[in-house]
A = this chain, B = another copy of it.
Amino acid sequence: MRELLEEVIVPAFKFNKVGGGIGLPEMDDGASILVDGKSIVITTDASTVKPLFFPGGDIGKLAICGAVNDLSMMGAEPLAVASTITAEEGLLIGTLRRVVESMNRVLEEVEIPLIAGDTKVVERGGLDQILLNTTGLGITENPITDSGLKPGNKIIISGTIGNHQLALLSMREGLKFESPLESDIAPLWEMIERALDVGGVTAMKDPTRGGVSGALNDMSRKSGVDVILQEDAIPMSGVVRRASEMIGLDPLELANEGVAVIGVDGEKVERVLKAIRKSKYGTNAEIVGEVTEGSGRVIIETYIGGRRIVREPYGSPMPRIC
Contacts and interface: CB of A to CB of B under 8 A. Distances in A.
A31 B82 contact: yes
Interface residues of A, number: 72
A84 B12 contact: no
Contacts of A108: 14-15
Contacts of A12: 97, 100-101, 103-104
A258 B247 CA distance: 53
B24 A126 contact: no
Contacts of A111: 15
Interface stretch (A33-41, A51-59, A283-291): A33-41
A239 interface: no
Interface string A94-128: 00110011011001100111111111111111110
Interface string A42-76: 11111010000000000000000000000000000
B123 A44 contact: no
Interface in A1-45: 1, 4-5, 8-9, 12-18, 21-24, 30-31, 33, 35-36, 38, 40, 42-45
B319 A17 contact: no
A270 interface: no
A9 B80 contact: no
A23 B126 contact: no
B44 A116 contact: yes
Contacts of A261: none
A30 B116 CA distance: 6
Contacts of A84: 44-46, 133
Given A13-B103, A46-B133, A86-B131, 19 more contacts: A4-B93, A8-B93, A9-B100, A14-B107, A15-B111, A15-B112, A22-B115, A24-B115, A33-B79, A33-B80, A35-B36, A44-B84, A44-B118, A45-B118, A46-B120, A48-B86, A123-B125, A125-B125, A125-B126
7 contacts: A14-B107, A33-B79, A33-B115, A36-B38, A40-B137, A42-B80, A125-B126
